[in-house]
Structure 1
């Protein structure tokens, strides 16, 4: 039985896909939520990069900058995947705000150890969302998106590991 390739978007944006309409709808929605979380995580990481202070300033400042760049680079990969499978993607900051699941941090001051812990927790939550979406891709036999998600999971796990290690404090040392 052949899968339907009809689209629900304007003809100008219609991208042929061999995924079913349900797969395109479901996977696109999940990827857009991931994309919103990616932008939220990027913004929080940049916020902490700009506002970190203290004895480990240089190390944390560079770590946050490196991680923010990697996170930002993944946004285009996710959005383009949505388009490749025939969906449409985020259009505004408001759209991001409606879909994001990761919490913003608007505090005037965050202790550097708390920054590390918060980003570590958010990154672990992000990995969980990536895995959930991977499972959805498996259900719809979307190997291309699953493959992208596997790369993103590996990258995010590495970021979580670095944040965890950076936050470790030996007894008697700050």
Structure 2
């Protein structure tokens, strides 16, 4: 039986893929009764708990919304992100990530921390883990690349994304 989620190396991500995305399962409807799926229950719980994780402007924004105006988690996240992460800001922050460059005299630890800070500024950046690692690796000097390669027991490209992240994290 084929593994549905095989471990892939960073080099494999650059190869074309013909695999599509699986459709999500649909609600089962029978005898006019809709069976609740566990993800429906989780969605309602997330909607109710979201308020408790907000403070300051975000909390005030949510309080100002009219009751019943948000009915799904997707609607809430879309409206929240539109309010607090306008497209211009997202574009600039994503560009900062894509154009990351190690600064002169910056250590691996400092560069890695700065790169992770950029990623954290846009938690919904949509950049896959393998590409995050590739961006960082491509933009550091050769001596740091050799250090990372040596610590991982070989070339970074031969590691899985998760293993490469851990290798850099441990070195930094």
After TM superposition, the score normalised by the length of structure 1 is: 0.26
Larger radius of gyration: 2
Give the structure with the higher percent helix: 1
For CA contacts below 8 A with separation 6 or more, give which structure has more relative contact order: 2
After TM superposition, the score normalised by the length of structure 2 is: 0.26
